[in-house]
Amino acid sequence: MTEDRQRQIFSNNLRRLIDASGKTQKDVADAIGVSQQIMNVWARGKAIPRMGKIQRLADYFGIEKSQLIDEQPEAPSIPSYSNIFPLQRKRIPLLGEIACGEPIFCNEGRESYVEAGTDVRADFCLKARGDSMIGARILDGDVVFIQKDAPLEDGQIYAVVIDDEATLKRVYYDAEDHMLQLVAENPAYKPLIYTGEKLDHVHILGKAIAFQSDVK
C-alpha cells in the first residue's frame, strides 16, 4: 500500500469518528494534547501521526488502533425515503454508579462505554442506584448522562460529590444565605442542606442532561 493511500485511509477514519462523536476537531485536539492545526493536517490526509498519538486517539474514541489505520468497510447505503433516516450513535464512558438515595462511594474508575445518540452532549455517564429520583423518572439501573462544567441552574438535576460520596439530586443554591440544598424527587428522602464550612465538602460533578433505561 502506498503512503498516500495510508494517509487517505487514516484521514477517512479520523473524520468519520469525529463526525460520529459530535465533537469538533478542536475538541479532539485539546483532549489528546495537540494543536488544532496538527489535527487539521491529519484530517486532510497530509500526514499520519506517530503510533503514540494514534493510541491516544484510539483511547479517546474507545476503539482499537486498527479502526484508525486499517481500511474500514463502507456503511450500507440507505434508500432515500422522506421518513427513514440513519440513526447516528456515539460511545460515552460509563464511570461507575451514583446514588439515587443516600450518597454512596464515588467510583470514577472507567468500566465500559454506553452508546447514545450524537445529540447527547455528555462527557460521561453513571448508573443510577436507588429510588430517590423516581419523580423525575430516573429509576434504579438507569444510565444518567452527565455534562461536566455546566453552569449551576436552580432546580436542575446534578451529580454531586460530598467528600468521596456521590449522589444525584436537584440543586438549589441561595447566594444570599450561602446555602445549598440537594433535593430528592421522592418524599421519603429529606433535603440535604449545606451551609458555611460544610460547603467546602460539596463538589458539583456535572449536570444530568439525559437518561437511558434498560441498559445492560
- Catalytic sites, residue numbers: 132, 169
Q: How far is CA 158 from CA 18, 167, 170, 186, in A?
A: 27, 8, 6, 16
**Contact present, 207 and 147 (Cβ < 8 Å):** yes
Residue with cell 450513535: 89
Q: How far apart are CA 57 and CA 81, in angstroms?
A: 35
Tell me the three cell numbers of residue 51: 503510533
- Compute the distance between CA of residue 17 and CA of residue 21 in angstroms, rounded to an integer: 6
All three cell numbers of 36, joined, read: 488544532
CB-based contacts of 105-112 (< 8 A; 24+ apart in sequence): 105/164, 105/165, 105/166, 106/161, 106/164, 106/165, 106/166
Q: Which of 95, 94, 110, 102 is nearest to 166 (CA)?
A: 102
